[in-house]
Structure 1
Amino acid sequence: MIQSRMVGEVRVTRLLEYAAPTHDPAFLFPDMAPSLLKDNASWLAPHHYVPEMNRLIVTIQLWIVHAGGNVIIVDTGVGNRKPRVAARMHQLNGLVLPWLEAAGAAPDKVTHVVHTHLHSDHVGWNTVPSADGRWVPTFPNARYLMPKLEYDHYVEALAKSPDPIIDAAFDDSVRPIVEAGLADFIPDHGDIAGLLAIEAAPGHSVGHQTYRIRSRGEEALFSGDVMHSPAQIADPTLNTTYCALPDVARHTRAALLAREAERGTLIMPMHFGAPHCGYIRRQGEGYAFEPAVW
Protein backbone atom coordinates (compact mmCIF):
# COMPACT_ATOMS: atom_id res chain seq x y z
CA MET A 1 0.00 0.00 0.00
CA ILE A 2 2.92 2.37 0.74
CA GLN A 3 6.06 2.72 -1.37
CA SER A 4 8.77 5.40 -1.36
CA ARG A 5 11.58 6.41 -3.69
CA MET A 6 13.97 9.31 -4.10
CA VAL A 7 13.88 11.81 -6.94
CA GLY A 8 17.25 13.45 -6.45
CA GLU A 9 17.05 14.66 -2.84
CA VAL A 10 13.25 14.63 -2.69
CA ARG A 11 11.44 11.68 -1.13
CA VAL A 12 8.22 10.68 -2.92
CA THR A 13 5.78 8.21 -1.40
CA ARG A 14 2.85 6.55 -3.09
CA LEU A 15 -0.18 5.56 -1.04
CA LEU A 16 -2.79 3.34 -2.69
CA GLU A 17 -6.38 3.95 -1.66
CA TYR A 18 -7.73 1.16 -3.85
CA ALA A 19 -7.19 -0.76 -7.06
CA ALA A 20 -9.71 -2.89 -8.93
CA PRO A 21 -10.80 -4.03 -12.40
CA THR A 22 -13.71 -1.60 -12.43
CA HIS A 23 -14.06 -0.08 -15.89
CA ASP A 24 -15.50 -1.45 -19.10
CA PRO A 25 -13.05 -0.27 -21.79
CA ALA A 26 -15.93 0.76 -24.05
CA PHE A 27 -17.21 3.06 -21.31
CA LEU A 28 -13.92 4.60 -20.22
CA PHE A 29 -12.58 4.99 -23.79
CA PRO A 30 -15.58 5.28 -26.14
CA ASP A 31 -13.36 5.75 -29.22
CA MET A 32 -10.97 2.88 -28.52
CA ALA A 33 -10.33 0.55 -31.47
CA PRO A 34 -11.50 -2.97 -30.61
CA SER A 35 -8.07 -4.36 -31.48
CA LEU A 36 -6.03 -2.10 -29.21
CA LEU A 37 -6.36 -4.12 -26.02
CA LYS A 38 -5.84 -7.43 -27.83
CA ASP A 39 -2.74 -6.11 -29.62
CA ASN A 40 -1.27 -4.77 -26.36
CA ALA A 41 -2.50 -7.40 -23.90
CA SER A 42 1.01 -8.84 -23.46
CA TRP A 43 2.08 -5.77 -21.46
CA LEU A 44 -1.23 -4.28 -20.30
CA ALA A 45 -2.22 -7.52 -18.53
CA PRO A 46 -2.35 -8.26 -15.67
CA HIS A 47 -1.63 -4.89 -13.99
CA HIS A 48 -3.69 -2.59 -16.21
CA TYR A 49 -6.19 -4.87 -17.93
CA VAL A 50 -7.93 -8.15 -17.07
CA PRO A 51 -8.75 -9.90 -20.37
CA GLU A 52 -10.89 -12.56 -18.71
CA MET A 53 -13.24 -9.86 -17.45
CA ASN A 54 -12.66 -7.32 -20.20
CA ARG A 55 -12.09 -4.71 -17.51
CA LEU A 56 -9.47 -2.01 -17.08
CA ILE A 57 -7.79 -1.76 -13.70
CA VAL A 58 -8.15 1.73 -12.29
CA THR A 59 -6.41 2.72 -9.09
CA ILE A 60 -6.83 5.65 -6.73
CA GLN A 61 -3.61 6.86 -5.18
CA LEU A 62 -2.23 9.77 -3.22
CA TRP A 63 1.33 11.04 -3.67
CA ILE A 64 3.33 12.50 -0.79
CA VAL A 65 6.39 14.71 -1.15
CA HIS A 66 8.90 15.17 1.70
CA ALA A 67 11.57 17.84 1.28
CA GLY A 68 12.95 20.81 3.17
CA GLY A 69 10.56 20.44 6.09
CA ASN A 70 7.54 20.33 3.77
CA VAL A 71 5.04 17.48 3.68
CA ILE A 72 2.98 17.87 0.51
CA ILE A 73 0.09 15.64 -0.58
CA VAL A 74 -0.74 15.69 -4.28
CA ASP A 75 -4.46 14.88 -4.75
CA THR A 76 -6.47 13.27 -1.99
CA GLY A 77 -8.42 10.41 -3.52
CA VAL A 78 -12.02 9.47 -2.79
CA GLY A 79 -12.19 9.73 1.00
CA ASN A 80 -14.26 7.89 3.57
CA ARG A 81 -18.04 8.04 4.00
CA LYS A 82 -18.51 10.28 0.98
CA PRO A 83 -21.86 9.92 -0.85
CA ARG A 84 -21.02 9.30 -4.49
CA VAL A 85 -23.02 8.33 -7.56
CA ALA A 86 -20.50 5.68 -8.65
CA ALA A 87 -20.87 2.54 -6.53
CA ARG A 88 -17.11 1.93 -6.54
CA MET A 89 -16.57 5.24 -4.70
CA HIS A 90 -19.69 5.40 -2.54
CA GLN A 91 -19.28 5.41 1.24
CA LEU A 92 -15.79 3.93 1.34
CA ASN A 93 -14.36 2.96 4.72
CA GLY A 94 -10.63 2.58 4.19
CA LEU A 95 -7.48 3.04 6.25
CA VAL A 96 -5.90 5.98 4.48
CA LEU A 97 -5.40 8.06 7.65
CA PRO A 98 -3.27 5.51 9.52
CA TRP A 99 -1.43 4.78 6.27
CA LEU A 100 -0.66 8.49 5.90
CA GLU A 101 0.73 8.53 9.43
CA ALA A 102 2.87 5.48 8.66
CA ALA A 103 4.15 7.29 5.58
CA GLY A 104 5.25 10.28 7.65
CA ALA A 105 2.25 12.42 6.69
CA ALA A 106 0.08 12.49 9.79
CA PRO A 107 -2.73 15.02 9.25
CA ASP A 108 -1.28 17.64 11.60
CA LYS A 109 2.15 17.39 9.91
CA VAL A 110 0.98 18.06 6.34
CA THR A 111 2.00 21.52 5.12
CA HIS A 112 0.38 21.59 1.67
CA VAL A 113 -2.39 19.77 -0.15
CA VAL A 114 -2.05 20.25 -3.91
CA HIS A 115 -4.74 19.44 -6.47
CA THR A 116 -4.23 18.63 -10.13
CA HIS A 117 -7.98 19.24 -10.54
CA LEU A 118 -11.17 19.09 -8.49
CA HIS A 119 -12.93 15.89 -9.55
CA SER A 120 -14.40 13.78 -6.77
CA ASP A 121 -11.67 11.12 -6.83
CA HIS A 122 -8.99 13.78 -6.26
CA VAL A 123 -10.44 15.81 -3.37
CA GLY A 124 -12.07 13.26 -1.05
CA TRP A 125 -9.60 13.20 1.82
CA ASN A 126 -9.65 16.99 2.01
CA THR A 127 -12.26 16.54 4.71
CA VAL A 128 -13.47 14.09 7.32
CA PRO A 129 -16.75 14.02 9.26
CA SER A 130 -16.81 15.70 12.66
CA ALA A 131 -18.63 14.31 15.68
CA ASP A 132 -21.60 16.56 14.91
CA GLY A 133 -21.78 15.48 11.25
CA ARG A 134 -20.02 18.42 9.58
CA TRP A 135 -17.26 18.02 7.01
CA VAL A 136 -14.07 19.51 8.47
CA PRO A 137 -10.52 19.82 7.09
CA THR A 138 -8.45 16.66 7.47
CA PHE A 139 -5.18 18.58 7.43
CA PRO A 140 -5.77 21.57 9.72
CA ASN A 141 -2.27 23.04 9.41
CA ALA A 142 -2.02 22.77 5.63
CA ARG A 143 -2.74 25.20 2.84
CA TYR A 144 -4.95 23.59 0.22
CA LEU A 145 -3.81 24.69 -3.24
CA MET A 146 -6.45 24.56 -5.97
CA PRO A 147 -6.10 25.61 -9.62
CA LYS A 148 -7.89 28.96 -9.77
CA LEU A 149 -9.23 28.40 -13.28
CA GLU A 150 -10.64 25.04 -12.21
CA TYR A 151 -12.30 26.37 -9.08
CA ASP A 152 -13.78 29.42 -10.81
CA HIS A 153 -15.11 27.25 -13.63
CA TYR A 154 -16.98 24.92 -11.29
CA VAL A 155 -18.38 27.72 -9.14
CA GLU A 156 -19.79 29.38 -12.25
CA ALA A 157 -20.95 26.14 -13.91
CA LEU A 158 -22.70 24.79 -10.82
CA ALA A 159 -24.45 28.11 -10.25
CA LYS A 160 -25.95 27.83 -13.75
CA SER A 161 -26.68 24.11 -13.86
CA PRO A 162 -26.43 21.81 -10.83
CA ASP A 163 -24.61 18.53 -11.43
CA PRO A 164 -25.21 15.78 -8.83
CA ILE A 165 -21.76 14.26 -9.38
CA ILE A 166 -19.78 17.49 -9.07
CA ASP A 167 -22.10 19.08 -6.50
CA ALA A 168 -21.57 16.32 -3.94
CA ALA A 169 -17.78 16.54 -4.03
CA PHE A 170 -17.84 20.32 -4.01
CA ASP A 171 -20.18 20.40 -1.02
CA ASP A 172 -18.32 17.91 1.15
CA SER A 173 -14.68 18.26 0.02
CA VAL A 174 -14.08 21.70 -1.50
CA ARG A 175 -16.43 24.28 0.01
CA PRO A 176 -15.58 23.32 3.63
CA ILE A 177 -11.92 24.07 2.88
CA VAL A 178 -12.75 27.45 1.38
CA GLU A 179 -15.06 28.28 4.28
CA ALA A 180 -12.33 27.34 6.77
CA GLY A 181 -9.98 29.86 5.13
CA LEU A 182 -7.46 27.17 4.16
CA ALA A 183 -7.75 27.41 0.36
CA ASP A 184 -5.29 29.19 -1.92
CA PHE A 185 -6.20 29.52 -5.58
CA ILE A 186 -3.11 29.16 -7.74
CA PRO A 187 -2.32 30.11 -11.35
CA ASP A 188 -1.08 27.66 -14.00
CA HIS A 189 2.55 28.74 -13.58
CA GLY A 190 5.05 29.36 -10.80
CA ASP A 191 6.01 26.93 -8.08
CA ILE A 192 4.90 25.53 -4.75
CA ALA A 193 7.26 25.79 -1.78
CA GLY A 194 10.18 25.97 -4.19
CA LEU A 195 9.66 22.26 -4.85
CA LEU A 196 6.91 21.73 -7.41
CA ALA A 197 6.82 23.60 -10.71
CA ILE A 198 3.24 24.28 -11.80
CA GLU A 199 2.39 23.49 -15.43
CA ALA A 200 -0.91 23.97 -17.26
CA ALA A 201 -2.36 20.72 -18.60
CA PRO A 202 -5.99 21.43 -19.56
CA GLY A 203 -8.34 19.08 -21.35
CA HIS A 204 -9.40 16.38 -18.92
CA SER A 205 -10.83 19.30 -16.98
CA VAL A 206 -10.81 23.00 -17.75
CA GLY A 207 -8.14 23.96 -15.24
CA HIS A 208 -6.17 20.73 -14.92
CA GLN A 209 -2.53 21.20 -13.88
CA THR A 210 0.54 19.01 -13.44
CA TYR A 211 3.41 19.43 -10.99
CA ARG A 212 7.09 18.80 -11.68
CA ILE A 213 9.93 17.91 -9.32
CA ARG A 214 13.48 18.73 -10.34
CA SER A 215 16.30 17.66 -8.03
CA ARG A 216 19.96 16.88 -8.72
CA GLY A 217 19.42 16.25 -12.41
CA GLU A 218 16.34 14.04 -11.95
CA GLU A 219 12.76 14.90 -12.85
CA ALA A 220 9.36 13.51 -11.95
CA LEU A 221 5.91 14.69 -12.98
CA PHE A 222 2.63 14.31 -11.11
CA SER A 223 0.54 14.00 -14.25
CA GLY A 224 -2.93 13.77 -12.70
CA ASP A 225 -5.47 12.60 -15.26
CA VAL A 226 -3.72 13.55 -18.48
CA MET A 227 -3.70 9.75 -18.81
CA HIS A 228 -5.92 7.27 -16.96
CA SER A 229 -4.25 4.16 -18.38
CA PRO A 230 -1.07 3.16 -20.21
CA ALA A 231 -3.40 2.27 -23.09
CA GLN A 232 -3.31 6.00 -23.86
CA ILE A 233 0.43 5.74 -24.43
CA ALA A 234 -0.23 3.10 -27.06
CA ASP A 235 -2.87 5.39 -28.59
CA PRO A 236 -2.47 9.01 -27.43
CA THR A 237 -5.64 10.07 -29.24
CA LEU A 238 -7.77 8.18 -26.71
CA ASN A 239 -9.82 10.38 -24.42
CA THR A 240 -11.81 9.17 -21.47
CA THR A 241 -15.53 9.69 -21.28
CA TYR A 242 -14.78 12.23 -18.54
CA CYS A 243 -12.63 14.60 -20.63
CA ALA A 244 -14.25 18.04 -20.64
CA LEU A 245 -12.34 19.46 -23.62
CA PRO A 246 -11.59 16.52 -25.95
CA ASP A 247 -9.41 18.27 -28.54
CA VAL A 248 -7.46 20.13 -25.86
CA ALA A 249 -6.97 16.89 -23.92
CA ARG A 250 -5.46 15.19 -26.97
CA HIS A 251 -3.11 18.12 -27.55
CA THR A 252 -2.02 18.17 -23.90
CA ARG A 253 -1.40 14.41 -23.91
CA ALA A 254 0.57 14.47 -27.15
CA ALA A 255 2.73 17.32 -25.90
CA LEU A 256 3.35 15.58 -22.57
CA LEU A 257 4.40 12.32 -24.22
CA ALA A 258 6.80 14.01 -26.63
CA ARG A 259 8.32 16.25 -23.97
CA GLU A 260 8.73 13.67 -21.22
CA ALA A 261 10.09 11.00 -23.56
CA GLU A 262 12.79 13.48 -24.50
CA ARG A 263 13.51 14.46 -20.90
CA GLY A 264 13.40 10.96 -19.40
CA THR A 265 10.93 12.08 -16.73
CA LEU A 266 9.42 9.70 -14.18
CA ILE A 267 5.64 9.95 -14.77
CA MET A 268 3.50 9.58 -11.64
CA PRO A 269 -0.19 9.38 -12.61
CA MET A 270 -3.14 8.97 -10.29
CA HIS A 271 -4.84 5.92 -11.81
CA PHE A 272 -2.23 3.56 -13.33
CA GLY A 273 -2.01 -0.01 -12.11
CA ALA A 274 1.17 -1.51 -10.66
CA PRO A 275 3.89 -0.35 -10.46
CA HIS A 276 1.84 2.86 -10.74
CA CYS A 277 4.52 5.02 -12.38
CA GLY A 278 7.10 4.80 -15.13
CA TYR A 279 8.78 6.35 -18.13
CA ILE A 280 7.69 7.26 -21.65
CA ARG A 281 10.01 5.81 -24.29
CA ARG A 282 10.04 6.34 -28.03
CA GLN A 283 9.04 3.27 -30.02
CA GLY A 284 9.04 3.66 -33.78
CA GLU A 285 6.72 6.52 -34.59
CA GLY A 286 4.92 6.19 -31.26
CA TYR A 287 5.60 5.56 -27.61
CA ALA A 288 5.98 2.73 -25.13
CA PHE A 289 5.57 2.59 -21.37
CA GLU A 290 8.52 1.47 -19.26
CA PRO A 291 7.37 0.59 -15.73
CA ALA A 292 9.46 2.02 -12.92
CA VAL A 293 11.22 -0.19 -10.41
CA TRP A 294 10.56 0.61 -6.76
Structure 2
Amino acid sequence: MIDTRMIGDVRVTRIHEYSGPTHDPKFLLPDLSQELLESNREWMSPHHWIPLMNKLILTVQLWVVHAGSNIIVVDTGVGNRKPREGMARMHNLNSLVLEWLEAAGAPPDKVTHVALTHLHMDHVGWNTRWLDGRWTPTFPNARYYLPQDDFLFCESGRNKQEGLDVFGASFEDSVMPIVDAGMSVMLKPGMEIGDCLQVEDARGHSPGQVAFRIRSRGEEAIFSGDICHNPIQIVHPEINSGYCIWPDQARKTRMEFLASSADRETLVLPVHFGNPYAGFVRREGAGFRFEPLLW
Protein backbone atom coordinates (compact mmCIF):
# COMPACT_ATOMS: atom_id res chain seq x y z
CA MET A 1 0.00 0.00 0.00
CA ILE A 2 3.02 2.30 0.43
CA ASP A 3 5.97 2.88 -1.91
CA THR A 4 8.69 5.49 -1.44
CA ARG A 5 11.30 7.03 -3.75
CA MET A 6 13.76 9.90 -3.46
CA ILE A 7 13.76 12.67 -6.06
CA GLY A 8 17.07 14.29 -5.18
CA ASP A 9 16.56 15.42 -1.58
CA VAL A 10 12.76 15.14 -1.75
CA ARG A 11 11.01 12.00 -0.51
CA VAL A 12 7.90 10.95 -2.43
CA THR A 13 5.55 8.29 -1.07
CA ARG A 14 2.59 6.67 -2.80
CA ILE A 15 -0.50 5.84 -0.72
CA HIS A 16 -2.82 3.31 -2.34
CA GLU A 17 -6.55 3.86 -1.73
CA TYR A 18 -7.86 1.20 -4.13
CA SER A 19 -7.21 -0.36 -7.53
CA GLY A 20 -9.12 -2.77 -9.74
CA PRO A 21 -10.71 -3.57 -13.10
CA THR A 22 -13.48 -1.01 -12.82
CA HIS A 23 -14.17 0.54 -16.23
CA ASP A 24 -15.53 -0.53 -19.57
CA PRO A 25 -13.02 0.93 -22.06
CA LYS A 26 -15.78 2.58 -24.06
CA PHE A 27 -16.95 4.39 -20.95
CA LEU A 28 -13.62 5.63 -19.62
CA LEU A 29 -11.89 6.15 -22.99
CA PRO A 30 -14.66 6.50 -25.59
CA ASP A 31 -12.12 7.39 -28.31
CA LEU A 32 -10.39 4.00 -27.86
CA SER A 33 -11.52 1.31 -30.31
CA GLN A 34 -11.56 -2.34 -29.29
CA GLU A 35 -9.24 -3.13 -32.19
CA LEU A 36 -6.67 -0.61 -30.98
CA LEU A 37 -6.91 -1.95 -27.45
CA GLU A 38 -6.36 -5.52 -28.69
CA SER A 39 -3.33 -4.43 -30.68
CA ASN A 40 -1.74 -3.24 -27.41
CA ARG A 41 -2.61 -6.39 -25.45
CA GLU A 42 0.99 -7.52 -24.91
CA TRP A 43 1.98 -4.59 -22.69
CA MET A 44 -1.46 -3.45 -21.44
CA SER A 45 -2.37 -6.80 -19.85
CA PRO A 46 -2.63 -7.55 -16.95
CA HIS A 47 -1.64 -4.34 -15.13
CA HIS A 48 -3.68 -1.83 -17.12
CA TRP A 49 -6.39 -3.93 -18.79
CA ILE A 50 -7.99 -7.31 -18.05
CA PRO A 51 -8.88 -8.87 -21.44
CA LEU A 52 -11.08 -11.63 -19.97
CA MET A 53 -13.34 -8.95 -18.47
CA ASN A 54 -12.57 -6.25 -21.02
CA LYS A 55 -12.15 -3.85 -18.13
CA LEU A 56 -9.51 -1.16 -17.66
CA ILE A 57 -7.64 -1.05 -14.35
CA LEU A 58 -8.18 2.18 -12.45
CA THR A 59 -6.25 3.09 -9.32
CA VAL A 60 -6.91 5.86 -6.85
CA GLN A 61 -3.86 6.99 -4.92
CA LEU A 62 -2.54 9.87 -2.89
CA TRP A 63 1.02 11.17 -2.94
CA VAL A 64 3.00 12.45 0.04
CA VAL A 65 6.00 14.76 -0.34
CA HIS A 66 8.56 15.31 2.41
CA ALA A 67 10.70 18.36 1.59
CA GLY A 68 12.63 19.88 4.48
CA SER A 69 10.13 20.60 7.23
CA ASN A 70 7.17 20.51 4.83
CA ILE A 71 4.83 17.53 4.52
CA ILE A 72 2.61 17.88 1.46
CA VAL A 73 -0.28 15.65 0.39
CA VAL A 74 -0.94 15.78 -3.35
CA ASP A 75 -4.55 14.90 -4.25
CA THR A 76 -6.68 13.27 -1.59
CA GLY A 77 -8.55 10.43 -3.25
CA VAL A 78 -12.17 9.45 -2.60
CA GLY A 79 -12.29 9.55 1.20
CA ASN A 80 -14.18 7.49 3.75
CA ARG A 81 -17.94 7.37 4.14
CA LYS A 82 -18.55 9.84 1.35
CA PRO A 83 -22.07 9.42 -0.12
CA ARG A 84 -21.48 8.69 -3.81
CA GLU A 85 -24.65 6.85 -4.80
CA GLY A 86 -23.99 7.34 -8.50
CA MET A 87 -20.50 5.79 -8.25
CA ALA A 88 -20.85 2.43 -6.51
CA ARG A 89 -17.10 1.79 -6.35
CA MET A 90 -16.65 5.07 -4.41
CA HIS A 91 -19.79 4.97 -2.26
CA ASN A 92 -19.19 4.91 1.51
CA LEU A 93 -15.63 3.59 1.37
CA ASN A 94 -14.05 2.47 4.62
CA SER A 95 -10.30 2.24 4.03
CA LEU A 96 -7.18 2.65 6.17
CA VAL A 97 -5.79 5.68 4.35
CA LEU A 98 -5.31 7.66 7.57
CA GLU A 99 -3.29 4.82 9.07
CA TRP A 100 -1.24 4.49 5.88
CA LEU A 101 -0.56 8.23 5.90
CA GLU A 102 0.72 7.96 9.46
CA ALA A 103 2.87 4.98 8.48
CA ALA A 104 4.32 7.13 5.69
CA GLY A 105 5.29 9.86 8.14
CA ALA A 106 2.32 12.10 7.35
CA PRO A 107 -0.14 11.95 10.26
CA PRO A 108 -2.95 14.42 9.54
CA ASP A 109 -1.96 16.95 12.20
CA LYS A 110 1.60 17.13 10.83
CA VAL A 111 0.66 17.79 7.18
CA THR A 112 1.56 21.37 6.23
CA HIS A 113 0.12 21.63 2.69
CA VAL A 114 -2.56 19.89 0.63
CA ALA A 115 -2.15 20.41 -3.11
CA LEU A 116 -4.96 19.43 -5.48
CA THR A 117 -4.43 18.97 -9.21
CA HIS A 118 -8.18 19.44 -9.81
CA LEU A 119 -11.47 19.20 -7.96
CA HIS A 120 -13.03 15.99 -9.28
CA MET A 121 -14.54 13.79 -6.57
CA ASP A 122 -11.75 11.17 -6.64
CA HIS A 123 -9.08 13.81 -5.96
CA VAL A 124 -10.60 15.76 -3.04
CA GLY A 125 -12.28 13.20 -0.77
CA TRP A 126 -9.81 13.07 2.11
CA ASN A 127 -9.88 16.86 2.36
CA THR A 128 -12.53 16.23 5.01
CA ARG A 129 -13.76 13.51 7.32
CA TRP A 130 -16.99 13.09 9.29
CA LEU A 131 -16.36 14.26 12.84
CA ASP A 132 -18.73 15.63 15.48
CA GLY A 133 -21.67 15.51 13.09
CA ARG A 134 -20.09 17.46 10.23
CA TRP A 135 -17.48 17.31 7.47
CA THR A 136 -14.31 18.56 9.15
CA PRO A 137 -10.90 19.30 7.60
CA THR A 138 -8.79 16.15 7.82
CA PHE A 139 -5.50 18.06 7.95
CA PRO A 140 -6.17 20.71 10.60
CA ASN A 141 -2.84 22.53 10.36
CA ALA A 142 -2.50 22.57 6.56
CA ARG A 143 -3.22 25.12 3.88
CA TYR A 144 -5.28 23.61 1.08
CA TYR A 145 -4.37 24.72 -2.45
CA LEU A 146 -7.41 24.63 -4.77
CA PRO A 147 -7.12 25.28 -8.53
CA GLN A 148 -8.89 28.61 -8.89
CA ASP A 149 -10.56 27.99 -12.24
CA ASP A 150 -12.00 24.66 -11.07
CA PHE A 151 -13.30 26.35 -7.94
CA LEU A 152 -14.94 29.19 -9.88
CA PHE A 153 -16.46 26.66 -12.31
CA CYS A 154 -18.07 24.77 -9.44
CA GLU A 155 -19.00 27.83 -7.44
CA SER A 156 -20.96 29.13 -10.43
CA GLY A 157 -22.95 25.89 -10.54
CA ARG A 158 -21.63 24.73 -13.91
CA ASN A 159 -20.42 21.51 -12.26
CA LYS A 160 -24.09 20.51 -11.96
CA GLN A 161 -24.69 20.53 -15.71
CA GLU A 162 -25.57 17.24 -17.35
CA GLY A 163 -22.52 15.02 -17.86
CA LEU A 164 -20.39 16.78 -15.25
CA ASP A 165 -21.30 14.58 -12.28
CA VAL A 166 -17.60 13.76 -11.86
CA PHE A 167 -17.47 16.84 -9.60
CA GLY A 168 -20.58 15.50 -7.86
CA ALA A 169 -21.44 16.15 -4.24
CA SER A 170 -17.76 16.42 -3.39
CA PHE A 171 -17.76 20.18 -3.89
CA GLU A 172 -20.14 20.52 -0.95
CA ASP A 173 -18.70 17.90 1.40
CA SER A 174 -14.99 18.01 0.51
CA VAL A 175 -14.24 21.50 -0.83
CA MET A 176 -16.57 24.07 0.69
CA PRO A 177 -15.88 23.01 4.30
CA ILE A 178 -12.22 23.91 3.62
CA VAL A 179 -13.13 27.28 2.16
CA ASP A 180 -15.59 28.02 4.95
CA ALA A 181 -12.89 27.22 7.53
CA GLY A 182 -10.58 29.80 5.94
CA MET A 183 -7.97 27.16 5.10
CA SER A 184 -7.93 27.47 1.31
CA VAL A 185 -5.54 29.17 -1.09
CA MET A 186 -6.62 29.73 -4.69
CA LEU A 187 -4.06 28.17 -6.98
CA LYS A 188 -2.79 29.45 -10.35
CA PRO A 189 -0.02 28.26 -12.69
CA GLY A 190 3.31 29.87 -11.87
CA MET A 191 2.90 29.60 -8.11
CA GLU A 192 5.08 27.48 -5.83
CA ILE A 193 3.93 25.29 -2.95
CA GLY A 194 6.07 24.39 0.04
CA ASP A 195 9.30 25.59 -1.56
CA CYS A 196 9.36 22.50 -3.80
CA LEU A 197 6.27 22.16 -6.04
CA GLN A 198 6.14 24.30 -9.18
CA VAL A 199 2.56 24.75 -10.38
CA GLU A 200 2.03 24.23 -14.13
CA ASP A 201 -1.02 24.69 -16.36
CA ALA A 202 -2.67 21.36 -17.28
CA ARG A 203 -6.21 22.48 -18.14
CA GLY A 204 -8.48 20.59 -20.50
CA HIS A 205 -9.53 17.61 -18.44
CA SER A 206 -11.01 20.20 -16.11
CA PRO A 207 -11.06 24.00 -16.47
CA GLY A 208 -8.33 24.55 -13.88
CA GLN A 209 -6.34 21.33 -13.71
CA VAL A 210 -2.69 21.87 -12.81
CA ALA A 211 0.39 19.68 -12.49
CA PHE A 212 3.07 19.92 -9.80
CA ARG A 213 6.75 19.62 -10.74
CA ILE A 214 9.56 18.72 -8.34
CA ARG A 215 13.19 19.53 -9.14
CA SER A 216 15.95 18.48 -6.77
CA ARG A 217 19.65 17.76 -7.31
CA GLY A 218 19.25 17.30 -11.06
CA GLU A 219 16.22 15.00 -10.83
CA GLU A 220 12.60 15.75 -11.77
CA ALA A 221 9.18 14.31 -11.12
CA ILE A 222 5.72 15.61 -11.94
CA PHE A 223 2.35 14.94 -10.33
CA SER A 224 0.24 14.82 -13.46
CA GLY A 225 -3.31 14.46 -12.15
CA ASP A 226 -5.56 13.22 -14.96
CA ILE A 227 -3.63 14.39 -18.00
CA CYS A 228 -3.58 10.64 -18.66
CA HIS A 229 -5.94 8.15 -16.99
CA ASN A 230 -4.29 5.12 -18.55
CA PRO A 231 -0.83 4.58 -20.13
CA ILE A 232 -2.40 3.79 -23.49
CA GLN A 233 -2.88 7.56 -23.73
CA ILE A 234 0.90 7.87 -23.81
CA VAL A 235 1.09 5.65 -26.88
CA HIS A 236 -2.06 7.22 -28.36
CA PRO A 237 -2.24 10.77 -26.96
CA GLU A 238 -5.22 11.62 -29.17
CA ILE A 239 -7.40 9.51 -26.87
CA ASN A 240 -9.30 11.52 -24.27
CA SER A 241 -11.15 10.25 -21.25
CA GLY A 242 -14.91 10.65 -21.20
CA TYR A 243 -14.45 13.18 -18.41
CA CYS A 244 -12.42 15.75 -20.37
CA ILE A 245 -14.44 18.96 -20.34
CA TRP A 246 -12.46 20.68 -23.09
CA PRO A 247 -11.44 17.84 -25.45
CA ASP A 248 -9.21 19.81 -27.85
CA GLN A 249 -7.37 21.53 -25.00
CA ALA A 250 -6.97 18.20 -23.18
CA ARG A 251 -5.23 16.71 -26.25
CA LYS A 252 -2.99 19.77 -26.61
CA THR A 253 -2.04 19.64 -22.93
CA ARG A 254 -1.32 15.91 -23.17
CA MET A 255 0.93 16.24 -26.21
CA GLU A 256 2.94 19.06 -24.62
CA PHE A 257 3.20 17.12 -21.36
CA LEU A 258 4.42 13.93 -23.06
CA ALA A 259 7.05 15.76 -25.12
CA SER A 260 8.33 17.65 -22.10
CA SER A 261 8.38 14.55 -19.88
CA ALA A 262 10.31 12.54 -22.47
CA ASP A 263 12.83 15.28 -23.22
CA ARG A 264 13.47 16.08 -19.56
CA GLU A 265 13.44 12.43 -18.36
CA THR A 266 10.83 13.38 -15.79
CA LEU A 267 9.29 10.72 -13.56
CA VAL A 268 5.52 10.83 -14.13
CA LEU A 269 3.37 10.37 -11.00
CA PRO A 270 -0.27 10.04 -12.09
CA VAL A 271 -3.28 9.16 -9.94
CA HIS A 272 -4.97 6.37 -11.88
CA PHE A 273 -2.38 4.07 -13.54
CA GLY A 274 -2.23 0.38 -12.68
CA ASN A 275 0.80 -1.40 -11.23
CA PRO A 276 3.53 -0.11 -10.86
CA TYR A 277 1.50 3.13 -10.77
CA ALA A 278 4.15 5.49 -12.17
CA GLY A 279 6.88 5.61 -14.81
CA PHE A 280 8.68 7.45 -17.57
CA VAL A 281 7.66 8.66 -21.02
CA ARG A 282 10.13 7.63 -23.72
CA ARG A 283 10.22 8.70 -27.34
CA GLU A 284 9.68 5.93 -29.88
CA GLY A 285 9.87 6.96 -33.50
CA ALA A 286 7.50 9.87 -33.97
CA GLY A 287 5.55 8.93 -30.85
CA PHE A 288 5.94 7.82 -27.25
CA ARG A 289 5.92 4.71 -25.10
CA PHE A 290 5.48 4.07 -21.39
CA GLU A 291 8.36 2.73 -19.29
CA PRO A 292 7.12 1.51 -15.88
CA LEU A 293 8.97 2.58 -12.77
CA LEU A 294 10.86 0.00 -10.74
CA TRP A 295 10.28 1.15 -7.16
| TM-score after normalising by structure 1 | 0.97
Note the alpha carbon deviations across 1:246-283, whole angstroms, 9 max, x for none.
Answer: 00000000010111111100000000011110000011
Structure 1 counterpart SS, 2:169: helix
**Offset at residue 34 of structure 1 (A):** 2.1
Deviation at 1:33, TM superposition (A): 2.3
What runs of 5+ residues in structure 1 fail to find an aligned partner? Answer: none
Q: What do the CA deviations read for 1:181-237 (whole angstroms, capped 9, x no partner)?
A: 111112111211210000000000000000000000000000000000001011100
Moved more, 149-158 or 55-64: 149-158
Map 1:84-99; keep pairs closer than 5 Å: 84=84, 85-99=86-100
For residues 240 and 159 of structure 2, the distance between their equivalents in structure 1, rounded to whole angstroms, comes to 27
What SS does the corresponding residue of 1:62 show, helix, strand or coil? strand
What corresponds to 2:31 in structure 1? 31
Could you say which residue in structure 2 is the equivalent of 1:270?
271
Q: 2:44 matched to 1:44?
A: yes
Query: Which residue of structure 2 lines up, in the alignment, with residue 21 of structure 1?
Result: 21
Task: State the alpha-carbon separation in 1 of the partners of residues 116 and 21 from structure 2.
Answer: 25
CA distance in structure 1 between the aligned counterparts of 2:97 and 2:29, rounded to whole angstroms: 29
* SS of aligned partner of 1:153: helix
Q: How does 1:201-220 map to 2 (within 5 A)?
A: 201-220=202-221
Tell me, what secondary structure is at the counterpart of 1:166? coil
Residue correspondences, number: 293
Q: Measured at CA, do residues 217 and 36 of structure 1 come closer, stay the same or move farther in structure 2, by a change above 3 Å? A: same
- The percent identity for this pair of structures is 57
Return 44-53 or 166-175, whichever deviates more. 166-175
What does the per-residue CA deviation read over 1:111-170, in whole Å, with 9 as the maximum and x for residues that have no partner?
Answer: 000000000000000000013x20000000000001111111111134985976534101
- Unpaired runs of 5+ residues, structure 2, are none
Q: Are 2:153 and 1:153 equivalent residues in the alignment? A: yes
Within 2, Cα distance between the matches of 1:10 and 1:90? 34
Q: Which residue of 1 aligns with 2:243?
A: 242
Counterpart of 2:157 in 1: which secondary structure? helix
1:78 aligns with 2:78: yes
Inter-CA distance 290–110: structure 2 relative to 1 (3 Å threshold): same
SS of the residue corresponding to residue 104 of structure 1 reads: coil
Does the 8 Å contact 1:76/1:124 carry over to 2? yes
Matched with 1:59 is 59
Match of 1:222 in 2: 223
Q: Is contact 1:158–1:167 with CA below 8 Å preserved after alignment?
A: no
Give the TM-score normalised by structure 2: 0.97
| Aligned-CA RMSD value | 1.3
Separation in 1 of the partners of 2:72 and 2:248?
32
Aligned residue in 2 for 1:177: 178
